[in-house]
Amino acid sequence: MLPFIQRPQPTPPRSLPDPGFSHPCVTNESQAPARRGARILTLLQLTDPHLFARGRDQLLGITTSQSFKSVLQTALASVPADALVLTGDLVQDASVAGYRRLRRLLDATRVRYDCIPGNHDSLNAMQQVFGTTETLPVSFRRFGGWTLIFLDSTEPGHEGGRLGATRLALLERILMADTSPAVIFLHHHPVAIRSRWIDGIGVADGAALLACCDRHARVKALAFGHIHQEFAQQRGGYLLLGTPSTCLQFKPHQDRFALDDRAPGFREIQLHPDGVIQSRVRRCETYPERAIPDAMGY
């Protein structure tokens, strides 16, 4: 039996001004009663930074350390964050130094953060820097009246992901344990996004994951990385949310690998006490670098 574990509790959250969402990306209806005294919590999802051991190294023309710093600064300047979640492909070259670079940047924010691995990550190097909690197959933690669930969707030696029966059974157990609204984070996308090349390397058993979520009204969103582009879809009572990379972007709706010239970005997720989610993507429009336009892959 694979282990799952409750991640440590965060420090008490700070007060939060009105978010002023003029263009919420998507919302869904509440099924959870509001807790007295509870307030809106803000998560910032940053994904696919693809850092290197050396800060000056580039991925197809993007200095990934610089673009990550710019997105992180923009994110933290735009909204008081209660937590950061990094959804994989943290380091491109499997270097311990790359993870150390990431940890230094995250620790400096003084905001609670959680990480999960992606297909480009080295679990061994990641564990050396972050410890073993961040690489558990399935884990969760309380976040105000919400539950955040973290799935490792990676399959060693494969670009695509797979959860498998054991991880899905652990997820089911967590979801059956109480009724608090929940957000699930994983690296790979569990649903087709109409790009044939990357739809071939999503979660192979994404349909089983979605079937599991369909059985639990407490699931309010699945948020993932991997696709390096914005994506949002409502499925029953929950949202499927894909998020731009903090470095290079993939062009939507392509049969073959193609890069986009859109700016790097992140996703802001607001969790209301009554179980409603509001979410939107923000981009770092002033970041000057763009990826090499005719690259065939990386």
- Applying CB under 5 A, which residues contact Fe ion? 48, 89
As measured in angstroms, the least distance from the Cβ of 245 to Fe ion is 6
Are 66 and 101 in contact by the 8 Å Cβ rule? The answer is: no
Helices 123-130 + 96-109 axis angle, to 10: 40
As measured in angstroms, the least distance from the Cβ of 120 to Fe ion is 6
Separation of alpha carbons 292 and 261, rounded Å: 9
* Distance set, CA 286 to CA 190, 196, 262, 282, 283 (Å): 32, 31, 11, 12, 9
- Cβ closer to Fe ion: 48 or 205? 48
- Cβ closer to Fe ion: 48 or 268? 48
- Cβ closer to Fe ion: 82 or 89? 89
As measured in angstroms, the least distance from the Cβ of 210 to Fe ion is 22
Of residues 105, 112, 109, 111, the one with CA closest to residue 90 = 105
Are 81 and 44 in contact by the 8 Å Cβ rule? The answer is: yes
- Cβ closer to Fe ion: 172 or 289? 289
As measured in angstroms, the least distance from the Cβ of 229 to Fe ion is 11
What's the first-to-final CA gap in the chain, in angstroms? 36
As measured in angstroms, the least distance from the Cβ of 49 to Fe ion is 9
- Cβ closer to Fe ion: 48 or 134? 48
